[in-house]
Amino acid sequence: MNMKNAALDRFTVCLEKGLLARLDEISVERGYPSRSRAMADFIRRAIVKKDWRGGRDCAATVSVVYDTSDSRPGRGLEKLLRASARNVLSSQVHQLRGGKALCTVALTGRPAELQRLADVARALKGVTHGAFNIVSPL
């Protein structure tokens, strides 16, 4: 977003000694062009968490890694995605080094049902790693 052309709300923030330096460190590490952009991102993340707890429909992703020599996780994921078709926008499977696969699924729906879907996917036999992320309220 071009901040020069956007309508902006301005406010003043007072921070405990040392926090501003930490904010600047995080801003540089994450590539924010300014403190304002960093703060806006932090606030958006807090809003997503609030909306998630409130049960509002959200967009989310679940990702799992599994060994392709074991057919159970692939079959289990296919069955789970078919059973959850109303929440699934898309899925991708990428082949990784060492005979591993990364499956990423884009989802929409109520946070609780998406969390359950992610928990089932991560608990499948043969899944070695998994992550769930609520991306945005809808």
Question: Tens place of pLDDT for every residue, the chain, 138 residues?
Answer: 455 667 888 888 888 898 899 999 988 988 989 888 888 888 887 887 777 777 788 899 999 999 999 999 999 999 999 999 999 999 999 999 999 999 999 999 998 899 999 999 999 999 999 999 988 878
The predicted model scores a pTM of 0.68
In whole angstroms, give the CA distance from residue 66 to residue 126. 6
pLDDT value at residue 46: 83
Q: And the tokens for 33? A: 């062009």
134 neighbors 115 (Cβ within 8 angstroms): no
**Range(s) of the domain holding residue 95:** 58-137
Tell me how many domains the chain contains.
2
Q: pLDDT digit string (tens) for 5-28?
A: 678 888 888 888 988 999 999 889
Domain containing 81 — which CATH number? Answer: 3.30.70.1150
